[in-house]
Structure 1
């Protein structure tokens, strides 16, 4: 039976500072792409909308949402790595 290599939760969280990279390290590529696109999109479009006075009402919350999602992705990478290193329950 194939045994998966152990992954460091601390390294996964550190790599997740770059959105999605911690999940790519863990082998969760789809989740990594989702975080990369989600955080990147919210930050990019939020900043773009924030450049106008009217757009600031939408842009600032989008930027804050992107920052929240980014922080959540770091915590999620750490927790996912912790779950992966735990022995399987029988």
Structure 2
């Protein structure tokens, strides 16, 4: 399944979408095809999205770790634990 990058009207990145959905947005006039600076094919939304919620993300260097554990919390979010 191919994913297509999505840009908001102000050119800020949004979550990627499926190719079929991106093609439908372009046909309906809700988006247009663009190429990023890295020559990646993307769609740019022509109207403001319904929401711009974002998720908290923590990045750590676990290069010395030998085991990764995905842990879910009660609110539906998850995080990775690194165990040496």
TM-score, normalised on structure 1? Answer: 0.20
With a CA cutoff of 8 Å and minimum separation of 6, indicate the structure with the bigger relative contact order.
1
Determine which structure has more spread, i.e. the larger CA radius of gyration.
Answer: 2
Q: Give 1 or 2: higher helix fraction.
A: 1
